Structures are given as C-alpha cells and as structure tokens.
C-alpha cells in the first residue's frame, strides 16, 4: 500500500495534527515546534515534515478565514519579505546544513530570550524595530523551510511588541500561511511530496479544522495575560526541545 498503514504512526500523527491546528488557531506556533520531533519517533524527520506540509497549508486556509482583518500590517510588511529571503536561502542550502546544528542554535537563542524576559530584562527587553524584524523574519523563513521550526524565531520578534492576543495570532497566521505555501516549491522540487506522503496527508487532513477550532476557542476564553504567559512557557519548552534534539 502506498499510504502508511502502521497503526503506531497514527497514534503519534493524530494528536500531532490536532496540536498543530490548535497551535495555529490560538496556542501559538512555538507549540507546533514540538510536532515534527514527536512524529520523528515513528518515521524519519524528512518524511514527517513532508507529510505535515500539505496539512499545514490546509490549516492555513482555516486560520486565515478566522483571523482575516485581525493582523498588524506594519509588522507583516517587515516580516513577509524577510521570510521569503529566508525560504530562498534555505532552499539553496537544503540538505547541506546539519539539522541538529540549526536546532541547537535556535534552541539556545530562544532559551536566552525567555530567561531574559523572566529576569526583568537584564539584557534589555525593548521592542524590536525594522532591522530586528528583518533578522528574525529571515531566520523564521529559513528554519521553517529546513526543520518546520519557524515559530520560535518569529515569537522572539513579535512577543515583545505586546500586541493584542488576537492581532498577535492573526499576524503569525498570515506570516506562516505565506511561508508554508511558498515552501511547497522546494519540497516539490526535492521530491519530498511523493504519492505516499500526499495520500497520508490527505487521510489526516480532516483533523486540521478540528484543531484550529479548538485553539480558537481557547484563545477567546482565556485572558490576554494568561495567553502571553503560556506563549513564553511554550516558547521556552520548544527551545529546550530543540536543544535536546540537537544534542541527541
């Protein structure tokens, strides 16, 4: 059979797809950074990323509908061109950089960022400007293309902006929708989106809107302070996970 038939795979994949949808719908993209590592326990990381990408593109349709008009145009004007640059760089270097090195670098930066925030800004907690947006937007496009881990870098730029929780999630949703659809180009050219992976993605796709709905409900039910507290904790944990994956 072309489609993956191992039940162990679906034990991991079903909650992962739901979690990715919830991350897009309101829990934040840093939460989604743990999905590929979890699925990599049962299949290769490359195949996990390839199966997830079409599902992410479907999830993006639902998140754009829910957050349309609820995003910050100023920040997107900075982040989107930077993200495209990151995708191009990652596509050229695809397969030449060890994924573990990328995970380690991003993980360490994310952990230091969170510790600095919780310490009261010993290293400064100023809002990033245009240069910061270009830096983290490029890194997010790069790491999203390479290892589906664009959430932590983009969070480093956006969280200190102290946007309204809905605007924050909407801005992230639009950014990653553009990034994910552009990532289809290098993934297709590299042959990662073969028939087996596409059919498996199709089987899991009905779970996508369910996850988005759950995440969106949580976003509206929980206070802004609690959402931000959760996002920083999720970001820190994703950083720890990235470092762990990089080491082991």
Closest Cα to residue 71, out of 173, 144, 224, 159? Answer: 173
Average pLDDT over residues 123-146: 83
pLDDT at 96: 78
Q: What percent of the chain has pLDDT over 70?
A: 96
pLDDT at 126: 64
Closest Cα to residue 21, out of 47, 46, 58? Answer: 58
How does pLDDT run across 61-119, given as a tens digit for each residue?
988 888 889 999 999 999 999 999 999 998 888 777 777 887 787 788 888 888 888 88
Q: List C-alpha distances in Å: 92 to 142, 176, 243.
A: 10, 20, 24
Residue 1 pLDDT exceeds 80:
no
pLDDT at 131: 92
Residue 124 pLDDT exceeds 70:
no
Which tokens in the block code for residue 156?
């480093």
Question: What global pTM score does this model have?
Answer: 0.82
How does pLDDT run across 145-178, given as a tens digit for each residue?
887 778 888 888 998 898 999 999 999 999 999 9
- Rg of the chain taking only CA atoms, in angstroms: 17
Handedness of CA 34, 182, 167, 206 (dihedral sign): negative
């Amino acid at each position: 059979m072309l489609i993956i038939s191992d039940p162990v795979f679906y034990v991991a994949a079903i909650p992962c797809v739901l979690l990715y949808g919830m991350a897009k719908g309101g829990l934040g993209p840093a939460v989604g950074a743990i999905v590929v590592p979890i699925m990599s326990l049962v299949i290769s990381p490359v195949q996990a990323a390839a199966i997830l990408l079409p599902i992410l593109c479907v999830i993006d349709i639902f998140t754009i509908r829910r957050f349309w008009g609820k995003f910050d145009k100023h920040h997107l004007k900075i982040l989107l061109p930077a993200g495209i640059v990151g995708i191009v760089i990652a596509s050229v270097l695809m397969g030449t950089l060890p994924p573990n090195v990328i995970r380690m670098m991003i993980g360490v930066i994310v952990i230091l960022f969170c510790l600095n925030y919780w310490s009261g800004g010993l290293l400064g907690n100023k809002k990033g400007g245009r240069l910061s947006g270009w830096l983290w937007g490029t890194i997010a496009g790069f790491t999203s293309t390479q290892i589906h881990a664009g959430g932590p870098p983009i969070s480093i730029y956006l969280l200190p902006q102290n946007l309204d929780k809905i605007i924050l999630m909407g801005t992230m949703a639009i950014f990653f929708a553009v990034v994910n659809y552009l990532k289809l180009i290098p993934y297709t050219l590299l042959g990662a989106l073969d028939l087996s992976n596409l059919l498996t993605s199709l089987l899991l796709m009905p779970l996508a809107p369910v996850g988005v709905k759950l995440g969106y409900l949580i976003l509206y039910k929980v206070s802004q302070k609690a959402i931000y507290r959760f996002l920083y904790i999720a970001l820190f944990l994703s950083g720890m996970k990235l470092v762990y994956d990089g080491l082991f």
